[in-house]
Amino acid sequence: MLEKDIENIIARYPHEFFPKSGFKLIGQQIKLGRCYADIIFSDKFNRKVIVEVKRGILSRDASGQVMEYYGLLKSEGPTDIVELILCANIIPAERKKFLETVGIECYELGINLINDIAEKYNYEFIDKQQPISEYVKFDKPNENIVAFPKGEKIWMFQANPEKYDIIGALSDNNLNSEIHWQVNQYAKEIHAGDVGIIWLSGKEGGIYAITEILTDPAIVAENGPEQEYWIDADQKQKKCLRVNMRIVANLLSKPLLKIELRNNETLKNMSIFKQPQGTNFPVSKEQWKLIQSLISAPAKFPSFAGLGNNQSAAN
């Protein structure tokens, strides 16, 4: 899912995100001075509304960018009333509070909301991002058969959206399907060849990627493209205990959400649910087997549509 995809979906179907606004599209990528505003609408009161779209976690510099657009648009039409909206997949609460006090509306548009609206209108993503690599084959038009890593041990690696923008990282082709991850627990037990599961914490929490661990834990720094996704500036260029992993199934287009995983008798007992504080968590072979099945053939598990399977629901 590219940032352009999110922009297109908002521009084409604004009523899905702003149902009472009466938005009518003026244009996308409108030139303002030397800048380009993502979207400009007119609303039911004939005000102009600049909508700036950010994939992943809303950064601190986004407000400065949209304020510059405001000034440029006002210089073209001094009598126009201009409103400002920032949209992102995840918006930290303190950032949202600050922005709204200075008159910038914030809308958190989760990955699954975007996917649901895209599916509703048969929108085709530009990059058609699916869990696809040399490990993924499509033997039938509507069935994904994923050749997962065969490691004996399975580990979950947690991303805190207040510290690291994993959504942005998983969308970045410059990472070449490899990513480093800190090892703060189980350092003597995690090894090359093991299976890694990338987990996002928070409201959009769930499983976002499957990896093969390529190295034993070692003191290393991340490469340049990875560093830019740290929200916590102190972590950039920091050398610490990490493993390098190859992403073999990118689930950004359809993550397995924690709200659904909790409703399964097997997966509700994952260690990340019992003690969520930490970076690294063991996953049992039984839990891993079920996760693989959900990725390869989710339709076979109706509980993940909220209907319940042959196991009893919980929570």
Q: What is the pLDDT of residues 104-113, one digit of tens each?
A: 999 999 888 8
Q: Is 237 left (phi over 0), alpha (psi -120 to 50) or beta?
A: left
Q: Is the pLDDT of residue 67 over 50?
A: yes
Helix (H) / strand (E) element for 100: namely helix 93-101
CA angle, corner 136, sides to 131 and 137, nearest 5? 125
- pLDDT-derived band at 49 (thresholds 50, 70, 90) equals very high
What mean pLDDT comes out for the span 194-202? 95
pLDDT digits (tens, 9 = 90+) for 230-240: 887 777 778 89
Q: Is 84 exposed, middle or buried (0-12, 13-18, 19+ CB in 10 A)?
A: buried
| Residue at 106: amino acid letter | C
SS3 182: strand
First to last CA, the chain: 31
**pLDDT of residue 131 exceeding 60:** no
Q: Could you tell me which residues come within 8 angstroms of residue 140 by beta carbon, excluding any fewer than 6 positions away?
A: none
Per the listing, tokens 């033997």 go with 139
Considering the domain 3-120, what is its CATH architecture?
Answer: 3-Layer(aba) Sandwich (3.40)
Long-range contacts of 67-73, Cβ-Cβ distance < 8 Å, separation of 24 or more: 67/104, 68/35, 69/32, 69/35, 69/37, 72/32, 72/33, 72/35, 73/32, 73/37, 73/40, 73/48
Provide the residue type at 73 as one letter.
L
Overall average pLDDT of the 66-90 stretch: 93
What's the confidence (pLDDT) of residue 146?
A: 59
% pLDDT > 90, the chain: 54
Q: Please give the Cα distance from 158 to 202 (Å, whole number).
A: 10
Domain boundaries, the chain: 3-120, 136-305
Give pLDDT, residue 130: 44
Q: Which residues pair with 246 in a beta bridge?
A: 178, 212
Count each helix (H run) and each strand (E run) in the chain, helices first.
10, 15
The owner of tokens 């005000």 is 47
pLDDT at 174: 77
pLDDT digits (tens, 9 = 90+) for 85-127: 999 988 888 889 999 999 999 999 988 889 889 999 999 887 6
Count CB atoms within 10 A of the CB of residue 183. 22
For residue 309, give Cα distances in angstroms to 143, 261, 264, 312.
20, 12, 8, 7
- What's the pLDDT tens digit per position in 214-254? 999 999 988 888 888 888 777 777 889 999 999 999 888 78
3-state secondary structure of 62: helix
Paired tokens of 105: 């509306």
150: phi then psi, degrees, rounded to nearest 5? -105, 15
CATH superfamily of 136-305: ph1033 like domains (3.10.590.10)
| CA angle in degrees (0–180, nearest 5) for 12-13-16 | 165
Beta bridge partners of 249: 210
* Average of per-residue pLDDT values in the chain: 85
Residue 179 pLDDT > 60, yes or no?
A: yes
